[in-house]
Chains A and B, each alone.
Chain A
Amino acid sequence: MADEAVTPKPLHVRVWDAPTRLFHWTIVTLVFVSWLSADQGYMKVHLCSGLALLALLLFRIGWGLVGSTTARFSDFLHPPRTVIGYVKGLVGGEKHLYAGHNPAGGLMVVAMIVVLLAQALTGLFANDGLHFSGPLALLISDDVSTWITGLHSLIFNAILLLVWCHVVAVGFYLFVKGDNLVKAMITGRKPHTHVPEAVRIAFTRSYIALLMLLLVLTAGGAAWFMIQGGAFL
């Protein structure tokens, strides 16, 4: 009987691609910079971080359609019944395995993208009542801009709440479930015991992400120059 070649099972499985991980940590940094710059009155920095945030969010939406399996909305968006069932299972001590985002995490991703996008878009039309206005504030009346500014402040509270929920959930997985999601989002790998057996992840090549980001930045840059030139006034 011929010896059968035995391939040792890897201890860790790659689940996150580089663009998704880079997006995640850059967003964390940009949200912090945006808050700090607004708080300290560095509004030009705030503008830059806000525009970068907007570009990244647009990129992420695109990546959610054409990116790697675990980055796609189709992979982590689940019907409400599934999300509720998953959360109930968590409370009951069950541990479901997902290579990418679990149903609750997927919901958090979408909520975060929607809220951050709303924040970035309202910021374009907001003003600080003193020396600074968002790049599109001139397109609308001062009253509307002031109203949007109020909304911009309000949405920040929603971001704080989501961040709190996110951190609490990540801590829950780490300390209660023994699943280090933070490490996985840094290295891109999870222990094979935390990944379903039959998982097959297709990774989209990173240069496509780069091209997408360039596309977003080019479109954003063109819009910026048109705004500066008064094209929309």
Chain B
Amino acid sequence: MAGLIAARPRVSAKAYFGAVALATALGIAAAMLLRPAFAHTVLELTGLESVPQASADSFYAQRVQPLFQAHCIGCHGSERQKGGLRLDSFAATQRGGKHGAVAVAGDIKGSSLFERITLPATDDRAMPPSGKTPMNNDEITVIRLWIASGASGTLPARAVKGAPRLVAPVTIPELNPSAVVKKRAPLAARVAQLRGRFPGIVEYESRDSADLVVNATLKHDAFGDSDLRALAPLGARIVAADLSGTAVTDAAAPLLAAMPVLRSLRLMRTKTTDATVTALAGSKTLKVLAVGKASPEALAPLRRKGVRIYEDADGG
């Protein structure tokens, strides 16, 4: 169903495509006026505008960006850009969303970012939206201070006064039960046996450690040198021992001094003397020593090695 005739152009193709190029450029210009974020992207891509960068020591990098990371980038990050807004970089934050800047330097009331995070949770426009963890008061204060101080990417964190104290997040590592069992295996049988004989006295230092902690204080006089000798097979793993108030004497000193990983030892209200303190002077691992009776001369070598010494005020 085709035919062929000679065509006489009304407008030359050259003129037409020139007009198209002009109209397209005007369209892009209009879109840039209506969408500031788009405008910034175009200007940055064409090298007409530098990409704003935040410095590592800035209030933004240290206090603000982590909050965006925690609360916002699920919907305003690389995968989703709700409202045309990205908050995963300083440049993107500066660009704002499809309705313009979200953080206006020094203008808290004019900053939709601040407005949205302070709306009541029942408001449809509240951010983060319902079902997501809202920012707490300290976090909102951080955002307020950032905007009030100029929404800068370079203002140092220390220059912003009144910011809530930064609380470092604590992450508890995943426990690997099989690795713990493997680590504890060499002494597991002995530990089980002695824990049976001395209930509550021998414990592992932590849930994933093979190191041991001995605390015999509740046994008082019922725990003496012979009991400590019974624990000798575990000596290689004992990192802390609290023998305060027990019946141990200087006879236990060689045993204590031979513990290769002992870091903390408490001997208050025992019959130990300078002899025990002197024997411990050779320990390479001891960091803390609490004693009752001990002379400054006996303690001096330990002090010189940086061992923290705690002395019983009553001399007991």
Interface set of A (CB-CB < 8 Å, partner B): 39, 69, 75, 91, 93-100, 128-131, 146-147, 149-150, 153, 164, 168, 171-172, 175-178, 193, 195-197, 199
Known: A164-B24, A176-B9. A130 touches B75 (CB 8 A): yes
A172 to B81, CA, bound (A): 36
* Contact between chains at B10 and A178 (CB < 8 Å): yes
In Å, the complex CA distance between A96 and B82 comes to: 47
For A96, the chain B residues whose CB sits under 8 A away are: 2-4
A176 & B16 in contact (Cβ 8 Å cutoff): yes
- CB contacts (< 8 Å) of A171 on chain B: these are 16, 20
Q: Compute how far the CA of A176 lies from the CA of B75 in the bound complex, rounded to whole angstroms.
A: 47
User: Per-position contact with A for B1-28: 1 when CB-CB < 8 Å, else 0?
Assistant: 1111111111111001000100010000
A39 touches B3 (CB 8 A): no
Q: Which residues of B contact A197 (CB under 8 A)?
A: 3
Question: Could you say which residues of chain A place their CB within 8 Å of the CB of B82?
Answer: 128-130
B52 at the interface (CB under 8 A from A): no
Q: Are A97 and B3 in contact (CB under 8 A)?
A: yes
12 further contact pairs, Cβ within 8 A, besides A99-B1, A146-B79: A69-B1, A93-B6, A93-B7, A95-B5, A97-B2, A98-B2, A128-B82, A131-B129, A146-B80, A149-B79, A193-B5, A195-B3
Residue in A39, A95, A98 with the greatest tally of chain B CB atoms within 10 Å: A95
Residues of A contacting B5 in the complex (Cβ-Cβ under 8 angstroms): 95, 97, 193
Decide yes or no whether B156 CB sits under 8 A from chain A.
no
The residues in B between 72 and 100 inclusive whose CB is less than 8 angstroms from any CB of A are 74-75, 79-82, 98
Residues in A neighbouring B13, C-beta threshold 8 A? 91, 172, 176
Distance to closest chain B CB from A86 (angstroms):
9
8 tightest Cβ-Cβ pairs between the two chains A and B: A95-B7, A196-B3, A97-B3, A129-B75, A175-B11, A99-B1, A129-B80, A130-B129
Assembly CA distance A197 to B2 (angstroms): 9
CB distance from B139 to the nearest CB of A (A): 20
Q: 24 A-B pairs, CB-CB below 8 angstroms?
A: A39-B98, A91-B13, A93-B6, A95-B4, A95-B5, A95-B6, A95-B7, A96-B4, A97-B2, A97-B3, A97-B5, A149-B79, A168-B20, A171-B20, A175-B11, A175-B16, A176-B9, A176-B11, A176-B13, A178-B9, A195-B3, A196-B1, A196-B3, A199-B1
Residues of B within 8 A of A176 (CB): 9-13, 16
Chain B residue with the shortest CB-CB distance to A41: B83
Q: Is the CB of B3 within 8 A of A177?
A: no
What separation, in Å, do the CA atoms of A197 and B124 have in the docked complex?
Answer: 63
Contacts of A147 in B (CB 8 A): 79
The complex places the Cα of A100 from the Cα of B24 at a distance, in Å, of 28
Most B-side CB within 10 Å, residue of A100, A153, A176, A196: A176
CA distance A91 to B74 in the complex (A): 49
Cα-based distance from A221 to B66 in the complex (angstroms): 46
Using known A-B contacts A128-B82, A171-B20, determine if residue A98 contacts B10 with beta carbons closer than 8 Å.
no
Chain B residues closer than 8 Å to A129, beta-carbon distance: 74-75, 80, 82
Instruction: Kindly state the separation between the CA atoms of A196 and B4 in the bound complex, as whole angstroms.
Output: 8
Which B residues touch A98, using CB under 8 A?
1-2
Q: Bound state CA distance, A196 and B16, in angstroms?
A: 26
Residue of A nearest to B98 (CB): A39
Q: CA of A202 to CA of B5 in the docked complex: distance in angstroms?
A: 24
CB distance from A170 to the nearest CB of B (A): 11
B86 to chain A, nearest CB (A): 13
Give min CB distance, A32 to chain B, whole Å: 15
B10 with A175: CB separation less than 8 A: yes
Known: A146-B80, A150-B79, A171-B16. A94 touches B11 (CB 8 A): no
> B1–A75 contact, CB under 8 A?
yes
Expressed in whole angstroms, the Cα–Cα distance for A39 and B8 within the complex equals: 43
